[in-house]
Amino acid sequence: MPTTVLVGLQWGDEGKGKIIDFLTERSDLVVRFQGGNNAGHTVEIGKEQFILHLIPSGILRQGTLNVIANGVVVNPLALCHEIDELQRRGVDVLQRLRLSSRCHLLFTYHGMMDSFREAQLGEGKIGTTKRGIGPAYADKASRVGIRACVLRDVARFETLFRARAEFYNHLFTNAEVGTLEVENEWEKLRQAASVLAPLVEDTALLVNRAAAAGKSILMEGAQGTWLDVDFGTYPFVTSSNTIAGAACTGTGLAPHRIDRVTGVVKAYTTRVGSGPFPTELSDATGDALRRRGSEYGATTGRPRRCGWFDAVATRYAAMLNGADGAALTKLDVLDGFESVRICTAYELDGRVVTDMPTDGEEIARVRPRYEEMPGWLADTTSATTYEDLPEAARAYIRRLMELTGMRLEIVSVGPRRDQTFSVGD
Residue 327 binds ligand IMP (CB under 6 A): no
Nearer to ligand IMP (CB atom), residue 220 or residue 403: 220
Pick the catalytic residue: 13, 114, 139, 332?
A: 13
φ/ψ of residue 388, rounded to 5: -70, -20
Question: Which residues is 309 bridged to in the sheet?
Answer: 342
Contact positions with ligand IMP (CB under 6 A) in 201-240: 222-223, 227, 236, 238-239
Please say whether the beta carbons of 45 and 262 come within 8 A: no
Nearer to ligand IMP (CB atom), residue 70 or residue 380: 70
Residue 128 binds ligand IMP (CB under 6 A): yes
Task: Please give the angle made by the CA atoms of 302, 307 and 309, to the nearest 5 degrees.
Answer: 125
Among 4, 10, 38, 75, interactor with ligand IMP by CB under 6 A: 38
User: Please, what's the b/e burial string for 231-266 (b: 16 or more CB within 10 A of its CB; e: otherwise)?
Assistant: bbbbebbbbbbbbbbbbbbbbbbeeeebeebbbbbb
Q: In a 10 Å sphere around its CB, with 0-12 CB exposed, 13-18 middle and 19+ buried, how is residue 110 labelled?
A: buried
Name, in order, each residue with C-beta under 8 angstroms of 19's C-beta and a sequence gap of 6 or more: 6, 262, 264, 327, 329, 410, 412, 420
How far apart are the C-alpha atoms of 135 and 88, rounded to whole Å?
Answer: 31
Closest distance of CB 41 from ligand IMP, Å: 8
Residue 307 binds ligand IMP (CB under 6 A): no
Closest distance of CB 375 from ligand IMP, Å: 27
Catalytic (active site) residue 81: no
Residue 13 binds ligand IMP (CB under 6 A): yes
Residue 17 binds ligand IMP (CB under 6 A): no
Catalytic (active site) residue 41: yes
Provide the 3-class DSSP secondary structure of residue 140.
Answer: helix
Nearer to ligand IMP (CB atom), residue 13 or residue 21: 13
Provide the 3-class DSSP secondary structure of residue 200.
Answer: strand
Distance separating the N- and C-terminal Cα atoms of the chain: 19
Nearer to ligand IMP (CB atom), residue 216 or residue 238: 238
Please say whether the beta carbons of 14 and 8 come within 8 A: yes
Residue 339 Cα distances to 285, 334, 380, angstroms: 11, 9, 15
How far apart are the C-alpha atoms of 387 and 383, rounded to whole Å?
Answer: 8
Nearer to ligand IMP (CB atom), residue 263 or residue 273: 273
Using CB under 6 A as the criterion, what x/- string covers residues 80-119 for binding ligand IMP? ----------------------------------------
Residue 57 binds ligand IMP (CB under 6 A): no
How far apart are the C-alpha atoms of 393 and 270, rounded to whole Å?
Answer: 20
Contact positions with ligand IMP (CB under 6 A) in 131-190: 131, 133-134
Residue 127 binds ligand IMP (CB under 6 A): yes
Nearer to ligand IMP (CB atom), residue 218 or residue 264: 264
Closest distance of CB 54 from ligand IMP, Å: 11
How far apart are the C-alpha atoms of 192 and 199, rounded to whole Å?
Answer: 12
Choices 33-41, 104-112, 333-341, 402-410; region in contact with ligand IMP by CB under 6 A: 33-41
Among 15, 17, 40, 245, interactor with ligand IMP by CB under 6 A: 40
Nearer to ligand IMP (CB atom), residue 269 or residue 420: 269
Among 79, 189, 272, 410, interactor with ligand IMP by CB under 6 A: 272
The footprint of ligand IMP (CB under 6 A) covers 12-13, 38-40, 126-129, 131, 133-134, 222-223, 227, 236, 238-239, 272-273
Kindly list the catalytic residues: 13, 41
